[in-house]
Amino acid sequence: MRILGISAFYHDSAAALVEDGQIVAAAQEERFSRIKHDPDWPAQAIETCLAQAGCTLADVDQVAYYEKPLLKFERLLETHLATAPRGFAAFAQAMPVWLKEKLFLKPLIVRKLSALAPGIDWESRLLFSEHHLSHAASAFYPSPFERAAVLTLDGVGEWCSTSLGFGEGADLRLDRELQFPHSLGLLYSAFTYYCGFKVNAGEYKLMGLAPYGEPRFAQSILDQLIDLKADGSFRLDLRYFDYVAGLRMTNARFDTLFGGPPRAAESALTQRHMDLAASIQAVTEDVVLR
């Protein structure tokens, strides 16, 4: 059986081809388009995967998309209703994109596939996986382990931001999860934003900056921003953040805690920014390993 996996329409679009349980090819679209973090339909990545496997799209039995868009829209809608009217600006910014394309990803993907391989009922072959189950599968199935605990952490999927599960053989389940807005990934992205880098793009720059600093703000993060429990679960103090209902990651309370406004993009990096990077890196590692 051949399964084509697709990630698209958010950031870093990509494709992978699995044949009888083995990954035979994988590629990111930005490698071909030369557009960093290219979010578009991964046409060239798909073409490359099929060529490497020596098959055509018509030979593919199933196509898997990495998350469930309707559940993601549910989160967006419920979050707006819970914070209205404060979150209207963010909601109004997101709605045109959702109403134009993201709510209708299934027919869009079917059209894309049909253009490449007409005459096939792609709707019946198209599957949607939950976001964190996709993360867990990409970690467990290529691993050398027959059975393993599986931990996933990111910004947010549909609702889930952190999951703990178990894999054995072909079986994989997620047993526990933490949900939006409490997210280690979004905490890291908040510092990415605060240090003047682009969210969902510049986190690697923040990580690269960390070794040049000292974690002198780590205790402030642990005391004020994140309530870390003995079992590794956590909650964020949302009074310091604006990502739930606003258009920014952080707010004035965050600025006061760390001694100033966010760094302007492309402005000079100071030792303070390096220390902030070192601090959130240390806290992130502490949370992951707890």
Return the CATH number of 2-68+101-129, one of 3.40.50.2300, 3.30.420.40, 3.40.50.300, 3.40.50.150: 3.30.420.40
Q: Tens digits of per-residue pLDDT, 119-160?
A: 999 999 999 999 999 999 999 999 999 999 999 999 999 999
d(CA 256, CA 249): 15
CA distances in angstroms from 108 to 34, 233, 272, listed in the order given? 24, 38, 46
Say which DSSP state 225 is in: I
Give the pair of three-digit tokens for residue 247. 């258009």
Active-site choice (11, 131, 135, 273): 11
Q: Tens digits of per-residue pLDDT, 225-278?
A: 999 999 999 999 999 999 998 889 999 999 999 999 999 999 999 999 999 999
Which pLDDT score, from 0 to 100, does residue 89 have?
A: 72
Contact 62, 3 (CB under 8 A): yes
235 membership: H or E segment, kind and range: strand 234-236
d(CA 135, CA 75): 19
Which pLDDT score, from 0 to 100, does residue 264 have?
A: 96
Q: Are strands 234-236 and 226-228 parallel, antiparallel or unpaired?
A: antiparallel
Tell me the mean pLDDT in the region 75-94. 74
Give the pair of three-digit tokens for residue 267. 């402005």
Which pLDDT score, from 0 to 100, does residue 94 have?
A: 72
Q: Is the per-residue pLDDT at 43 higher than 70?
A: yes
| CA atoms 153, 156, 162, 163: torsion sign | negative
Q: Is the per-residue pLDDT at 86 higher than 90?
A: no
Instruction: Give Rg (Cα) of the chain.
Output: 21
Q: Tens digits of per-residue pLDDT, 96-120?
A: 766 666 778 999 999 999 999 999 9
In the numeric block, the tokens 């240090």 are attached to 195
3-state secondary structure of 188: helix
Q: Is the per-residue pLDDT at 12 higher than 70?
A: yes
Which pLDDT score, from 0 to 100, does residue 50 have?
A: 98
Where are the chain's structural domains? 2-68+101-129, 145-178, 184-289
The rounded Cα 148 to chain-centroid distance in angstroms is 22
Which pLDDT score, from 0 to 100, does residue 90 have?
A: 72
Which pLDDT score, from 0 to 100, does residue 99 have?
A: 66
11 is catalytic: yes
Using pLDDT thresholds of 50, 70 and 90, give the confidence band for residue 78: confident
Q: Is the per-residue pLDDT at 81 higher than 90?
A: no
Tell me the mean pLDDT in the region 173-200. 97
Give the pair of three-digit tokens for residue 33. 């388009």
Contact 261, 198 (CB under 8 A): no
Q: Is the per-residue pLDDT at 163 higher than 80?
A: yes
Q: Are strands 62-65 and 126-128 parallel, antiparallel or unpaired?
A: parallel
Q: Is the per-residue pLDDT at 64 higher than 70?
A: yes
